[in-house]
Structure 1
Amino acid sequence: MRTTTQPHPTTDDRPLVEAAQAGDLDAFNQLVGRYQRLAYNVAYRIMGDADAAADATQEAFLAAYRKLDTYQPGTSFKAWLLRIVTNKCYDALRAHKRRPTASLDALLLDPDKPDRPFEQVAPERPDEAVEQQELHELLQALLLTLPPDQRAVLVLADIQGYKYHEIAEILGIEIGTVKSRLFRARRKMRDALREHEELLPPAYRFQNRP
């Protein structure tokens, strides 16, 4: 079955944000409930550790509450919040001087054919299950080799399904920077996989590509 990303519905956060900025703690708690799962998922993909992701998420919401007066009305609250989340993840990685142990469950895209993700197919034989596990572990290891800025873009684009302009707003960078980081990240993953293409689904082995 081909994995596809889900669209991100537009939510009007303005009433809750305005109330929270006026000191309504219940309104802010509603915003937390609305975005807690998303914030944690992004943090987990960057950090790769459940406890570290939970800590980063909590720190991000605390920081967001303290910085509510800096939020600019009319802009995306979700993007503003996710920028705080990613920054907290970067801070944690720098503070602990460690590399994350994230797993790449989403499908890797070919930078030359971005509309062709790898497909995850239910194994029919035990040896296929072993090969899929080996591929999963390989993708985990390769993800660790990416710099944090490229990893964040890859997570937001290929796992969370955000568009270029959304990622640019979340990370506070130019769309061109998003594209270049994503291209480099995908190319690094793809080049590394050339040495292990026997683990790839047959349709995505490099010698079979037109």
Structure 2
Amino acid sequence: MTRSDAELLAAHVAGDSDAFGELFARHRDRLWAVALRTMGNPEEAADGLQDGLIAAFRRADSFRGEAQVTTWLHRVVVNACLDRLRANKVRAAGALPDDLDEAGDRGTLTTSEAGPGPEEAAEAHDVRRAVLRALDTLPVEQRAALILVDMQGYPVAEAAAILGCAVGTVKSRCARGRARLAPLLGVLREPDEASDTPGNPPGTGDVSSGDRPRGPPAVSP
């Protein structure tokens, strides 16, 4: 019988040595995707994810059930990544990796199901890199809100629970972040282009590829 997230976390607190690993494996891809987009490169993302998992492993008995276990896990990982960004002043100045994209239809910065041709794929790749570099210029709180809402597709209420702030705060951070991104990304827009995809910052269009990330490195608490 498959145990729920809450049952796995409770079992871990009770001393089950396998429960936390099973819980992490269940949510590994999404936790990695959030860490990777937040940190901007795989090395820093692996460190941020590791920090978050160690914190969750050690503080599991502090979980009181006010939110879903997956929301709590995301909150711990995101906070660990933001702490690392603040401490190290990471702005990902180097080349961005190709595996920053997560498949699917989540969020507003995604592609359609149809596969692009070579020219379209190359253009989308350049645009995607520009968007991710522009994200690096934002304050970490605005960046985290935009990543969760616009790139990962979380509802605003769930993003607020993950970030530990009010819904209105997330909306405000997203609005200010989009406003800051608009002039940085406007150069990507053709002068005669009528409109962008609804909900996207001007000039972003559809920027994420349909390829799944290669996934996180092995991480253990």
**Alignment TM-score, normalising by the size of structure 1:** 0.75
User: Partner residue of 1:198?
Assistant: 190
Larger Rg computed on CA atoms = 1
Question: How many aligned positions are there?
Answer: 187
* Paired letter, 1:70: S
- Flag the structure with more relative contact order, 1 or 2, with Cα contacts below 8 A and sequence separation at least 6: 2
Q: Is 1:98 the counterpart of 2:112 in the alignment?
A: no
User: Partner residue of 1:33?
Assistant: 25
Superposed displacement of residue 84, structure 1:
1.0
Moved more, 18-27 or 186-195: 186-195
* Paired letter, 1:100: A
Superposed displacement of residue 157, structure 1:
0.8
Q: Which blocks of at least 5 consecutive residues in structure 1 are unaligned? A: 1-10, 107-114
What is the CA–CA distance in structure 2 between the aligned matches of 1:134 and 1:75, rounded to whole Å?
A: 38
The answer on whether the counterparts of 1:135 and 1:200 sit within 8 Å (CA) in structure 2 is no
Residues 37-82 of structure 1: per-residue CA shift (max 9 Å, x gap): 2111101001011121112112211110110111013521111111
Superposed displacement of residue 124, structure 1:
5.0
Cα gap change, 1:18 to 1:118, in 2 (>3 Å): closer
Match of 1:25, SS?
Answer: coil
| Two-structure CA RMSD over aligned residues (Å) | 3.0
User: Partner residue of 1:66?
Assistant: 58
Cα gap change, 1:70 to 1:190, in 2 (>3 Å): same
**Kindly, what percent of the aligned residue pairs are identical?**
37
What is the CA–CA distance in structure 2 between the aligned matches of 1:61 and 1:116, rounded to whole Å?
A: 28
What is the CA–CA distance in structure 1 between the aligned matches of 2:65 and 2:168, rounded to whole Å?
A: 25
What is the CA–CA distance in structure 1 between the aligned matches of 2:52 and 2:117, rounded to whole Å?
A: 43
Cα gap change, 1:194 to 1:64, in 2 (>3 Å): same
Residues 169-189 of structure 1: per-residue CA shift (max 9 Å, x gap): 101000000111111112222
Q: Which blocks of at least 5 consecutive residues in structure 2 are unaligned? A: 203-221
What is the CA–CA distance in structure 1 between the aligned matches of 2:37 and 2:148, rounded to whole Å?
A: 9
* Paired letter, 1:17: L
Cα gap change, 1:67 to 1:125, in 2 (>3 Å): closer
What is the CA–CA distance in structure 1 between the aligned matches of 2:108 and 2:21, rounded to whole Å?
A: 40
The answer on whether the counterparts of 2:40 and 2:92 sit within 8 Å (CA) in structure 1 is yes
Counterpart of 1:180 (choices 165, 172, 179) is 172
The answer on whether the counterparts of 2:109 and 2:150 sit within 8 Å (CA) in structure 1 is no
User: Partner residue of 2:46?
Assistant: 54
Larger helix proportion of the pair: 1
User: Partner residue of 2:34?
Assistant: 42
* Paired letter, 1:139: V
The answer on whether the counterparts of 2:39 and 2:85 sit within 8 Å (CA) in structure 1 is yes
Residues 74-100 of structure 1: per-residue CA shift (max 9 Å, x gap): 521111111111111112112322213
User: Partner residue of 2:158?
Assistant: 166
Match of 2:153, SS?
Answer: coil
What is the CA–CA distance in structure 2 between the aligned matches of 1:62 and 1:100, rounded to whole Å?
A: 24
Cα gap change, 1:26 to 1:122, in 2 (>3 Å): closer
Superposed displacement of residue 20, structure 1:
1.1
The answer on whether the counterparts of 1:118 and 1:204 sit within 8 Å (CA) in structure 2 is no
**Alignment TM-score, normalising by the size of structure 2:** 0.72
What is the CA–CA distance in structure 1 between the aligned matches of 2:191 and 2:9, rounded to whole Å?
A: 48
